[in-house]
Amino acid sequence: MSISKGINILIGPDLHCWPTTYECAPRGTIPSRLVEWRNIKDEILNVALKHSAKYALFPGDLFNIASPKAEAVIEIINLFEGLEKNGCKVIACKGNHDDVGPTVKNFVDVLSEYNPLWGITEIGCYNFEELSIAVIPYQKPTLLDRSGSPEKVSEALVQKAREMANHCSGYKVLMGHWSIKEAIYANGFGPKNEPVFPLADLKEMGYNICAMGHVHKAQVLNEKPLIFHPGVSIITKMDEKTETPSVFVVNTKTNSYILEELPAKKIEVFELTKDSIVNFESGEWKKDIPEIENCIVVGKYTATEDEARKVDHKEIINYLREKGAFYVEGIRPTIIRKERDRGATIDTSLSRVEAFNKWYDTTTERQDLKSKVLLKFQELEKEIEN
């Protein structure tokens, strides 16, 4: 490919290699989620080859947890080696999932032993033939501003990115593991009380591309310059059910991008109708089940206590397995109870915070404490999420 046509850059999502949620292989056999990850890895290699990508960027959360199994480290090395063997240079940095604390070596450091560009943990600028890349990996916010206050840390992030834009030359890429202020998370909420890059700042720093990991929902926030969150490579949580894990391929000449889908398991949620519940024995409920082959499946229904007694969860689960479900996460009834029917229907469609809020209203707990308790709960929720 001649320079006038530009080059293609593959930009990967949070890799999260390899999660153990929804694992269903019998003990002693190859974990099914590892098999899934390997398919995803192979597809990333295919996409790089198909588009003759000259660079592959991975903006953090290479591992799903900070203490991954040795096999996960080998998987990532295999992926990066495979890409480089095909002439695609890999640049990857640390995300919050990879971080174990400021002075402690982490598994991304292990990758950097193989190749310093595979495990970047410090802010820096890297100049290559066709482009330069400024990298702002995740780090503990207090290292960016001692106060740790989200506003101050955000200011520090913007300032670092600006400084580095001056050190970069030619086609400029900013890659990091931070939320963009205007982004929406997979749970439907935006970032709150955490360091962010305001979109308006990113737009005028002089970068051609800003690619940020961390947000588990793929989204393009601006076309030119191209500012986006690439999302996730594999689904690990219920609130990611609407995601289609993909990689981005960006052309430096046109600044246009395409998405290539990854072979990640999908989550399928179905709901049994009232008729199906009332006439459960008839087996009519089977027509409520969509195509679920190879999917992680959740079933729902709403029923009174009497109606719910007729519903045989085991029978439903067996049927889902017959139809080729990859993993049955559960059958989740919403039971309508007359004695405390205050409109509080709590099921998995609610976020934990919403469910807690509704539940609290139905209890006899002191309502004047509600806002305090809710605030604590939200903080806790935030810690779990991130």
Contact positions vs Mn ion (CB under 5 A): 14, 61
**Shortest distance, CB of residue 219 to Mn ion, whole angstroms?**
14
Least distance from C-beta 213 to Mn ion, angstroms?
A: 6
**For Mn ion, the closer CB: 14 or 43:** 14
Query: Smaller CB distance to Mn ion: residue 159 or 242?
Result: 242
Q: CA-CA distance, 173 to 55, in Å (whole number)?
A: 11
Identify which of residues 233 and 252 has a Cβ nearer to Mn ion in the complex.
Answer: 233
61 vs 132, beta carbon nearer Mn ion: 61
Sign of the torsion formed by the C-alpha atoms of 78, 126, 15 and 266? negative
The number of CA neighbours under 13 Å toward the Cβ of 182 is 12
Q: Are the C-beta atoms of 360 and 374 separated by less than 8 Å? A: yes
Q: How far is the CB of 66 from Mn ion (least distance, A)?
A: 12
User: Which amino acid, residue 198?
Assistant: P
Least gap, CB of 78 to Mn ion (angstroms): 21
What letters, b where the CB count within 10 A reaches 16 and e where it falls short, cover 93-111? bbbbbbbeeeeeebbbebb
Instruction: Please name the helix (run of DSSP H) or strand (run of DSSP E) that holds residue 257, with its range, or none.
Output: strand 257-261
Smallest separation, CB 17 to Mn ion (Å)? 11
Q: Considering beta carbons, is residue 61 or 240 the nearer one to Mn ion?
A: 61
**Is the Cβ of residue 43 or residue 243 nearer to Mn ion in the bound state?**
243
Return the axis-axis angle of helices 352-362 and 370-385, rounded to nearest 10°.
160
Which residue type sits at 169? S
How far, in Å, CA of 132 to CA of 48, rounded?
19
Burial environment of residue 2 by CB neighbours within 10 A (0 to 12, 13 to 18, 19 or more): exposed
Compute the least distance from the CB of residue 13 to Mn ion, in Å.
Answer: 8
Q: Is the Cβ of residue 230 or residue 333 nearer to Mn ion in the bound state?
A: 230
Residues 6+ apart with CB under 8 A from 350: 358
Report, in Å, the least distance between residue 96 CB and Mn ion.
7
**Where does residue 64 rank: exposed (0-12), middle (13-18), buried (19+ CB within 10 A)?**
buried
